[in-house]
Structure 1
């Protein structure tokens, strides 16, 4: 699958902005032009190839067996690129260091965050970003993400998702984080299974700040709010039995964040359960009503905590 993940790391290093040099965890072939490789046996970043002459694109080139063997050898070599440079504001990318440095000086996203404000906290804010207004930004963000998540194989159907991007507030005094996307989660607009999150990533340099917990907690509150609005429209305000959760399967990174969040939340509710003597209600049912977590997620977390 051209939009899938290759089974080896094919880019040696990813540089984010001028300060962060990151080691990719997974291979990513969606960022390269598949058609160009088939024709020439050389790797070229996709957008660069798209700008080439249309006549050149339509040339019919039929490789012989020796050419096919050579291309296969090149395809499975360890690195297709030594370094890919990503803007830390808009995530546009290039393999040209000079062009990258020039872009960093003039990137318009340094001064403007895309999207609509949906959450404002003491230290961070969250913006909802839609594809129809910021398609290039989201496509570039997803291509960057593919180097660090192993189960998100496509970036072509972004119209079906809303994206929620977290930023540091300007008043936090950390000027070097201003207007930089620190992480995001995506949510399918029309989910038949009431899933509240499709993918989640905290950009590697900004981890260990509690951002995963913030985004996960916000995703639950968002789903509950949406259901409350829907229930009022249908005159059925009782939502105690409603449960929601992330799309399966979770990446190893996502699962770690979720178990941490579920564990902290369930401990508080279990203390309330014992304190209020809710012995007439089974524990799992009580936890589902209070947290709106899926039963399988509650059981998984309780097993992790060695409570069952």
Structure 2
């Protein structure tokens, strides 16, 4: 391979176009990896730079690299007739972790253009105002349901991370993916977001001016849960349209497998916050269709990066099922799930089901049988998810003409310890939840996230 810093012949560098595959020096890992060229441009110093997706890596690792980090001898041109900006025309398509799921969903894709955001601008706030988020050229694929997984967009523009940094409250965060913020913001080093109303602003000065006028110290909507400095607020996407749309824009920065739509009317948003003397600070959220024919209890779920790996993801999932219990329904997250989403849900399902099995054994011993339906009703987890979890745990066995649940002593000991350890982690206190299900019309809802 070529040494880093070695001068590349200009004619060879010019051959590197969108859709090519080439070996690239991945500096963060200090290794060479095959990558797909998503886009190219020329830097101010005249050197070519390329936006690359590393094959078999999560797209959050996509980045701009300069020409001195590519090995021209490994260049593979895209096949004729390949999809530009898609999989580069190479056999097998995109090798990203969610490629398998997106292939399964291709038959259900339909293309719907993004709807514009309605922004109210008052004369006195005009200096801080920013235009409506730009709509990508062409159209964006969608599946039924809010923020559905659709695989990677055919438009190369939406495959390129367009925001370098956001400042939200006390955190500066580097986004992972594209989100259709106004094009004027994409040239800034950082965009500034009010952590209470989620309005986006172009400078720290604008943010300070806005904070003097912003009346919020918590998300809009109803506070339906408060316990140990943690709260949940229920926001109606129709009544608080601006907040809901801004929340969706933020979420898209960290969710690759979802398509953003601005019609928030059919959705409720449940925002988790941490409270201190300054107010309630957003940690994460999930959205939910007001009326779901598929019985989904979560459309989209996100914990913001500064709060990840602290147990908040499991808390959001648990809260969604507590709502389902009050509704006296079983629920399930919108399918298909991303790879990380599936891991989070499987972890929650496993613990919830094992707890119920152990509780049943303590209460009834071997005098009564427990069915999958019993487990589903007790946990509010949809029957199909109960079965898939039992199979994944290798507890679902076919014996003498019927399926039975078999727990080995080894597995029992493992989960008894996990359940004991989980008591030290964040949990929902059902007594602190003050909520009643709302009645909505029977009109079918339309897809957003």
TM-score (normalizing by structure 1)? 0.69
Change (3 A) 1:300 1:105: farther
1:260/1:105 Cα in 2 relative to 1: closer, same or farther (>3 Å)?
Answer: farther
Residue 95 (1) aligns with residue 182 (2):
no
C-alpha displacement at 1:138, in angstroms?
1.2
Residue pair 2:166, 2:174 contacting (<8 A) in 1 also: yes
Partner of 1:31: 181
Secondary structure of the equivalent of 1:162?
strand
Q: Does 1:257 align with 2:344?
A: yes
Residue 188, structure 1, aligned to residue 289, structure 2: yes
Whether the 8 Å CA contact 2:167–2:191 is kept in 1: the answer is yes
| TM-fit CA distance, 1:191 | 0.5
CA distance in 1, matches of 2:335, 2:240: 27
Q: How does 1:156-171 map to 2 (within 5 A)?
A: 156-169=262-275
Displacement of 1:200 after TM fit?
Answer: 1.1
1:284 deviates by 3.0
Higher share in strand: 2
Partners of 1:135 and 1:196 in 2: how far apart? Answer: 21
Partner of residue 356 from structure 2, selected from 245, 269, 277: 269
Tell me: CA distance 1:278–1:272, structure 2 relative to 1, closer, same or farther (3 Å): farther
Report the counterpart of residue 405 of structure 2 in structure 1.
none
State the superposition RMSD in angstroms. Answer: 2.6
Gaps in structure 1 of 5+ consecutive residues:
33-42, 46-78, 228-241
5+ residue gaps, structure 2, are: 1-112, 114-134, 141-152, 397-449
Give the structure with the larger helix fraction.
Answer: 1
Contact 1:201 1:254 in 2 (8 A): no
- Tell me what 2:233 maps to: 127
The 5 A counterparts of 1:285-304 are 285-304=373-392
Q: 1:44 aligns with which of 184, 188, 191?
A: 184
Aligned residues: 243
**Match runs of 1:1-308 below 5 Å:** 2=135, 4=140, 6-17=158-169, 19-28=170-179, 30-32=180-182, 43-44=183-184, 81-110=188-217, 112-169=218-275, 174-175=276-277, 178-227=279-328, 243-275=330-362, 276-277=364-365, 281=369, 283-307=371-395
Say whether the 8 Å CA contact 2:168–2:192 is kept in structure 1.
yes
Q: TM-score scaled by structure 2?
A: 0.49
